[in-house]
């Protein structure tokens, strides 16, 4: 009789949960243990900067599945007990509680963590947004009104700005780069997004760094590189994210802007896979890392197949979206490297930009229907 196999997944987010259910969907009948360091069951993160911020009294985490569904599929979820080490020689995961969980195959789906602003460390009234608990604390601040300052004009910062304006707050967004969404969308689309925010009363300051943040009981004071002194009751830092690779580094796995995996999402250890925000993978003759819901969803399923022996390459087209006010932005592919753009108007207020080069992408801007 073949002994039962034990598969362990580290990471209680979209990617880890998707991989657990995909293993069952693909016929795996061994044991599955899903380990998460948060106290909640796995939930989806995109609503935290959108719908969650608009709820007057907060809401439960947007759970991916309920406890009963995990039990019915034979998936053991360990919440609130962080993985602290991977013993590759004995094939076991060590948890903060002291528990050791053996594995035959291991998936690391630890995601990413907000990039910190060292100068703001230790100040009150400063928030980052990654977890449900982060969102709950920030949503409570939005209900109090006042002035919200946001450092970083990426998707998270702009989605929060939209939510805060809809809650009636004064909002200032500060971006060190020359324009908003510098790394995310072409200039034409960025201009539309900026006009949308300014039309809704958001003040956007680009090309400005933060020199001397300070705080008191009433809020924060920001000295900008432009010479302006900005006061706000609440500060949100949204300056990007860093892959959570500490476990991989400690275990001696290859790391290159994330845990380095091959096209099957296998790491430098054949028994260990990685997927989602924490990994970098081959894509069109280069190595990239994506922080997106769709990538976490797709890679979770692909990693499950790899753990079961499949060797097909991961070739899903990168896809992103962002909802701000009554508009949505959708991006398919990667725009970097494009040498020309072609614009197509679909209907009033809706357009698609095709960015053409060695690899192609498309950006769609439209009202939410």
- State how beta strands 105-108 and 272-274 pair: parallel
Least Cα distance to 55 among 146, 166, 154 occurs for 166
pLDDT category at 78 given cuts 50, 70, 90 is very high
Q: Which residues pair with 326 in a beta bridge?
A: none
Residue 352 has pLDDT above 80, yes or no: no
With respect to CATH, is domain 6-113+241-307 assigned 3.50.50.60? Answer: yes
Query: Which one is predicted more confidently, 48 or 355?
Result: 48
- In the predicted model, what is the mean pLDDT of residues 293-302? 95
**DSSP 8-class letter at 49:** G
pLDDT at 26: 97
Residue 353 has pLDDT above 80, yes or no: no
CB 179 within 8 A of CB 154: no
Alpha-carbon distance 75 to 73, whole Å?
A: 6
Our measurement of the distance from residue 39's CA atom to the centroid of its chain's CA atoms, rounded to an integer in Å, reads 18
Which range has the worst mean pLDDT, 1-5, 253-257, 300-304?
Answer: 1-5
Q: Could you give the angle at the alpha carbon of 318 between the alpha carbons of 254 and 301, nearest 5°?
A: 65
- Give the pLDDT confidence of 193-237 residue by residue, as tens digits: 999 999 999 999 999 999 888 988 889 999 999 999 999 999 999
Residue 104 has pLDDT above 50, yes or no: yes
Which range has the worst mean pLDDT, 36-40, 187-191, 309-313?
Answer: 187-191
Q: Do 6-113+241-307 and 116-237 share a fold?
A: yes
Report the top-level CATH class of 116-237. alpha beta
Alpha helix (H) residue ranges in the chain:
14-25, 51-54, 67-72, 132-142, 155-166, 187-199, 246-251, 293-307
- In the predicted model, what is the mean pLDDT of residues 86-97? 98
pLDDT at 363: 58
Alpha-carbon distance 282 to 264, whole Å?
A: 10
pLDDT category at 337 given cuts 50, 70, 90 is low
Query: Which one is predicted more confidently, 357 or 222?
Result: 222
* Residue linked to tokens 């947007």: 62
Domain ranges of the chain: 6-113+241-307, 116-237, 319-367
Least Cα distance to 265 among 291, 296, 223 occurs for 296
- Give the pLDDT confidence of 21-40 residue by residue, as tens digits: 999 999 999 999 999 999 99
Alpha-carbon distance 255 to 171, whole Å?
A: 38
pLDDT category at 18 given cuts 50, 70, 90 is very high
Give every strand in the sheet of 105-108, ordered side by side: 75-79, 31-36, 6-10, 105-108, 272-274
CB 345 within 8 A of CB 304: no
pLDDT at 366: 56
Share of the chain above pLDDT 90, in %: 71
pLDDT category at 1 given cuts 50, 70, 90 is very low
Alpha-carbon distance 28 to 24, whole Å?
A: 5
Alpha-carbon distance 295 to 275, whole Å?
A: 9
319-367 topology per CATH: Enolase-like; domain 1 (3.30.390)
Residue 85 has pLDDT above 90, yes or no: yes
Query: Which one is predicted more confidently, 219 or 58?
Result: 219
């Amino acid at each position: 009789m073949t002994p039962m196999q034990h598969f362990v997944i580290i990471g209680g987010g979209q990617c880890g949960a998707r991989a657990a259910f995909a293993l069952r969907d693909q016929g795996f009948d061994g044991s599955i243990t899903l380990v998460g360091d948060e106290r909640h069951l796995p939930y989806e993160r995109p609503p935290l900067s959108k719908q969650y911020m608009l709820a007057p009294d907060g809401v439960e985490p947007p759970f991916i599945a309920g406890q009963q569904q995990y039990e019915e599929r034979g998936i053991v979820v360990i919440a609130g007990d962080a993985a602290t080490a991977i013993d590759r020689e004995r094939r076991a995961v060590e948890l903060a509680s002291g528990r050791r969980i053996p594995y035959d195959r291991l998936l690391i789906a630890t995601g990413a963590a907000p990039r910190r602003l060292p100068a703001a460390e230790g100040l009150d009234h400063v928030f980052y947004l990654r977890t449900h608990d982060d969102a709950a604390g920030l949503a409570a601040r939005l209900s109090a009104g006042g002035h919200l300052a946001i450092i970083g004009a990426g998707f998270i910062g702009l989605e929060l700005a939209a939510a805060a304006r809809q809650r009636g707050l004064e909002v200032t967004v500060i971006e060190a780069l020359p324009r908003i969404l510098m790394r995310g969308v072409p200039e034409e689309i960025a201009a539309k997004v900026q006009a949308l925010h300014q039309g809704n009363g958001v003040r956007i300051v680009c090309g400005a760094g933060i020199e001397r943040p300070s705080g008191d009981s009433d809020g924060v004071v920001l000295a900008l590189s432009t010479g302006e002194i900005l006061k706000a009751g609440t500060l949100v830092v949204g300056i990007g994210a860093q892959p959570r690779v500490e476990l991989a580094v400690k275990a001696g796995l290859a790391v290159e802007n994330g845990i380095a995996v091959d096209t099957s999402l296998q790491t430098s250890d054949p028994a260990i896979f990685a997927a989602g925000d924490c990994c970098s993978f081959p894509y069109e003759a280069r190595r990239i890392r994506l922080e997106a819901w769709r990538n976490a969803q797709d890679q979770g399923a692909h990693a499950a197949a790899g753990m079961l022996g499949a060797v097909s390459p991961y070739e899903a087209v990168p896809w992103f979206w962002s909802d701000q006010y009554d508009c949505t932005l959708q991006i398919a592919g990667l725009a970097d490297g494009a040498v020309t753009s072609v614009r197509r108007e679909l209907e009033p207020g809706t357009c698609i930009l095709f960015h053409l080069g060695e690899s192609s992408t498309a950006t769609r801007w439209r009202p939410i229907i």
